[in-house]
Amino acid sequence: MLAATPLGDVRDASPRLAEALASADVVAAEDTRRLRSLAAALEVTPSGRVVSFYDQVETARLPGLLESLRGGATVLLVTDAGMPSVSDPGYRLVAACVAEDLPVTCLPGPSAVTTALAVSGLPSDRFCFEGFPPRKQGERQRWFAALRAEPRTCVFFESPHRLAATLADAAQVLGPDRRAAVCRELTKTYEEVRRGGLGELADWAEEGVRGEITVVLAGAEPTGAPSMDVLVAEVKQRVADGERLKSAAAEVAEAAGVSKKALYDAVVATP
Residue 270 has pLDDT above 90, yes or no: no
Return the pLDDT at 224.
Answer: 62
Question: 200-218: per-residue pLDDT in tens?
Answer: 999 999 999 999 999 999 9
CATH 3.90.1170.50 fits 112-217, yes or no: no
What residues contact residue 50 under an 8 Å CB cut-off, 6+ apart? 26, 27, 29, 32, 35, 36
Query: What pTM value is reported for the model?
Result: 0.79
Residue 223 has pLDDT above 90, yes or no: no
Mean pLDDT over each residue of the chain, to the nearest integer: 94
Return the pLDDT at 226.
Answer: 73
Question: 95-130: per-residue pLDDT in tens?
Answer: 999 999 999 999 999 999 999 999 999 999 999 999
Question: 53-102: per-residue pLDDT in tens?
Answer: 999 999 999 999 999 999 999 999 999 999 999 888 999 999 999 999 99
Question: 13-37: per-residue pLDDT in tens?
Answer: 999 999 999 999 999 999 999 999 9
Looking at the domain covering 2-107, what would its CATH class be?
alpha beta
Sheet holding 26-29, edge to edge: 49-52, 26-29, 75-78, 2-3, 106-107
Question: What is the Cα 53 distance to its own chain's centre?
Answer: 19
Tell me the domain boundaries of the chain: 2-107, 112-217, 228-269
